Amino acid sequence: MTEHKFKLTDGKEYIALDKLLKLMRVVGSGGEAHAVIQEGMVMVNAVVETQKRKKMRPGDKAEFNGQVISIEA
């Protein structure tokens, strides 16, 4: 399992899950991000997540395809 860290830019409280997966290059496109989320292949804080635009805040962890992304402030 590979762990990555994503730091929110100043003034931002969250990032949408679909954008996070795309920015971290865990998926190839926004469409692919939507598909894997809808299919229940992504976990947030150890729970299957199906909301494409789930607000990811500091302390949250997303997991997909053996990769973990931690959100930092």
Domain containing residue 18: CATH number: 3.10.290.10
35: containing domain: 2-72
Write the pLDDT tens digit of every residue in 30-61: 999 999 999 999 999 999 999 999 999 999 99
Q: Measured between alpha carbons, how far is 8 from 40 in angstroms, rounded to an integer?
A: 25
Number of separate domains in the chain:
1
- Distance between the two ends of the chain, CA-based, in angstroms? 23
Q: How many CB atoms lie within 10 A of CB 60?
A: 20
Pair of tokens at residue 67: 């990769």
Give bridge partners of residue 48 from the DSSP assignment. 43
pLDDT at 1: 85
This prediction has a pTM of 0.94
In the chain, the amino acid numbered 25 is R
